């Protein structure tokens, strides 16, 4: 579990606030961006700030392969906790495209808005430099849809996969499989984009 935060100083006198990033890896890419990163040794549930947040809660217990996962006690609740925090403070949550969190928490489908003013976006992390076609759903609160930073779109050939289930009829994999670390790492351009998005969010 993790909280990562840094102070952003803008050109205007009042443009000074804290963005907190919760639930990140020990070797988080946010550390290279000057963030104050907290990893699994820190408990994000102790966070009591009131600024917009970026949340990367554990997703294995919410995925379509959850029956094969071995989540820690209480891990499943962290995503729900994150949604409630984002609805309170503003910010963005990132989860896999097929996360069951959307159904359980009645999160809006892309193109719709919920009663909290929240909406969802579907992005491909390969657009931001991920080696595999890693599709993510984002739940965003505290910003209008027309204020979302431009989303880059790439059409590069994808040579890697996050799953070994993609195979030819011959039984051989069609793409090289990424390591666990490579699968989980947030591309630096994606991290920068999420930070820019969170900066625009309000309660």
Residue 45 or residue 38, greater confidence: 45
> At which residue do the structure tokens 């670390």 appear?
181
**pLDDT grade for 94, boundaries at 50, 70 and 90:** very high
The count of residues in the chain is 203
For residues 173 and 166, the answer to whether their CB atoms sit within 8 Å is yes
Task: Give the H or E element holding residue 94.
Answer: strand 91-96
Residue 163 or residue 48, greater confidence: 48
Helices (H), ranges, 43-112: 77-89, 101-104
Work out whether the CA dihedral 9, 14, 15, 16 comes out positive or negative: positive
Report which of 159, 45, 163, 37 is spatially closest to residue 98, judged by C-alpha positions. Answer: 163
* Domain range summary for the chain, segments of one domain joined by +: 3-200
List, for residues 101-141, the tens digit of each pLDDT value: 999 999 999 999 999 999 999 999 989 987 878 899 999 99
List, for residues 8-39, the tens digit of each pLDDT value: 333 333 344 667 899 988 888 888 887 667 67
CA 101 to chain centre: 13
User: Order of strands across the sheet with 119-124?
Assistant: 3-9, 16-22, 53-55, 91-96, 135-141, 119-124
Report which of 49, 71, 50, 65 is spatially closest to residue 1, judged by C-alpha positions. Answer: 71
Count the neighbouring beta carbons within 10 Å of the beta carbon of residue 108.
17
pTM of the model: 0.81
Residue 166, pLDDT > 50, answer no
List, for residues 75-93, the tens digit of each pLDDT value: 889 999 999 999 999 999 9
């Amino acid at each position: 579990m993790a909280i990562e935060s840094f102070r952003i100083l803008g050109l205007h006198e009042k443009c000074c606030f804290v963005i907190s990033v919760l639930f990140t890896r020990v070797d988080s890419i946010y550390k290279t961006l000057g963030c104050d990163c907290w990893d699994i040794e820190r408990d994000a549930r102790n966070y009591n700030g009131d600024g917009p947040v970026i949340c990367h809660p554990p997703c294995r217990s919410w995925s379509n392969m959850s029956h094969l996962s071995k989540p820690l006690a209480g891990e499943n609740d962290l995503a729900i906790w994150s949604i409630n925090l984002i609805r309170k403070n503003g910010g963005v949550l990132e989860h896999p495209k097929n996360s069951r969190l959307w159904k359980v928490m009645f999160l809006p489908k892309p193109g719709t808005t919920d009663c909290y003013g929240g909406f969802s976006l579907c992005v491909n992390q390969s657009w931001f430099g991920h080696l595999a076609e890693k599709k993510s759903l984002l739940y965003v609160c505290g910003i209008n849809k027309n204020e979302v930073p431009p989303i880059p779109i790439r059409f590069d050939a994808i040579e890697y996969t996050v799953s070994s289930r993609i195979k030819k009829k011959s039984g051989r994999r069609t793409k090289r499989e990424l390591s666990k670390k490579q699968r989980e790492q947030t591309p630096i351009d994606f991290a920068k984009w999420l930070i820019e998005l969170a900066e625009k969010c309000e309660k």
